[in-house]
Amino acid sequence: MLAQAASLLNINVVILDVGANAPAKQVVSPRSPGLAHIDGSFADSAKIRELAAKVDVLTVEIEHVDAGVLQDVERAVPLGVHPSPSTIRVIQDKCVQKQHLAAHGCPVSTFMEVEATAASVTSAAENLGLPLMLKSRTLAYDGRGNYVLRETTQVQEAIAALGGRPLYAEKWVPFVKEIAVMVVRSAAGDVASYPVVETVQRDNICHLVFAPLRSGDATIAARAREVAEASVKTLAGAGVFGVEMFLMHDGSVFINEIAPRPHNSGHYTIEACETSQYENHLRAILSLPLGSTALKVPSVAMVNLLGASDDMSEINAVVAHALSVPGAAVHLYGKSECRKGRKMGHITVVATSDAERSLRIRSLLEHLPTPSS
Ligand code: ADP
Ligand code: NA
Ligand code: MG
């Protein structure tokens, strides 16, 4: 989606990913032989150096990268690396990220470091109560890396499930809603935020996004945007950041986590905002003027197309239905294989009212494949 936005602005993109048919490479062809895409892993330091040597600005779409290599190449890339490798380093360890946010006065719920031992996890459960959210500090995404400890008898199982990785623990947050705000930060340090969205996760994975946030109290959205903007200001570097938050019963918010990149909860901006999160990411890292973040439709929803099995025809069935739904825009990512829980694409539905939006997405939801457990 970033490549699509770049293409419309004649911005040349060189992509590092495995295989000649990686999804982003399907979207943009190299404009000259010198700008050929690179075949390799974004975890391979030699490949990252090869990419850095070819570009004016380097950006990443995943935080699980080698921040050290990015730091090494930073000075050799004329417009730098965004988000800043120092920001990636803070964010890629969720416990360090929470410590950073707390130290800068951003609202986060209670958390503590734990060792991956039964004694340490048990003591965290005694301290923070049950249920306890046990999380991998690193390499976590789509809920892979979280374990909800309901009883202390599950401690061994939890440690085994999280694969012996470095862990930390969070107090369980009894939120009323999960919300998110996309924030764009220019190279000069100015920030602008998108409207607050409500996100609905199923099995820890983002399932639905609704915008704008509806609540009886209009100050909630304004406050959430302030908190999100303030949190992004504590992080170095330009680009788009996705700030995931918990909305509490009393209207207060806690930051759950920050993604230093365009985010699933911002996909709706492609059809529903004056400038998409992708275009604004490009504008930010290229020192172009930021675009308006305003909604241009009254109501929007996004539904993720998650594989229910390895059968892509289940996804194709929803897509076929979506083609008959007014206001629905299908995005399929061109991934070579469908797998259970894998994000294969998404559908955005715009509408003139929330009521119309509900009608439009209801039938889509009825056609979604149901994951077998
Ligand atoms: P991921 O990196 O996989 O997105 P998150 O830390 O965002 O992991 O957790 C995934 C989901 O788990 C959240 O969106 C939320 O629904 C739930 N969750 C995370 N932390 C807590 C918590 N402390 N209390 C209650 N629910 C939580
Ligand atoms: Na995450
Ligand atoms: Mg998350």
pLDDT tens column, 39-60: 999 999 999 999 999 999 999 9
Is 3 buried (19+), middle (13-18) or exposed (0-12) by CB count in 10 A? middle
Ligand 3 centroid–CA 31 distance in Å is: 36
Distance 96 CA to ligand 2 centre (A): 14
Global pTM value: 0.97
Cα of 102 from ligand 2 centre, angstroms: 18
**260 neighbors 239 (Cβ within 8 angstroms):** yes
Q: Atom 12 (ligand 1): residue with closest C-alpha?
A: 204
CA-145 nearest atom, ligand 1: 3
Q: List pocket residues of ligand 1, CB cut-off 6 Å.
A: 109, 133, 135, 140-143, 145-146, 170, 172-173, 178, 201, 204, 244, 256-257
For the CA of 109, the nearest atom of ligand 1? 23
Residue numbers of the chain with a pLDDT score lower than 50: none
Residue 209: helix, strand or coil by DSSP? strand
Q: Please report the pLDDT score of residue 372 as a whole number.
A: 64
Report the distance separating Cα 258 and Cα 68, nearest Å.
20
What is residue 373's predicted lDDT score, i.e. its pLDDT? Answer: 56
pLDDT of residue 301: 98
At 19 the pLDDT is 95
Q: What is the DSSP string of 249-283?
A: TTS-EEEEEEESS--GGGTTHHHHBSS-HHHHHHH
Instruction: Report the nearest atom of ligand 1 relative to the CA of 111.
Output: 23
Which string of DSSP letters, residue by residue, matches 34-60? GG--EES-TT-HHHHHHHHHH-SSEE-
pLDDT at 142: 82
Q: Give dist(CA 172, CA 315) in Å, integer.
A: 34
pLDDT tens digits, one per residue of 316-352? 999 999 999 999 999 999 999 999 999 999 999 999 9
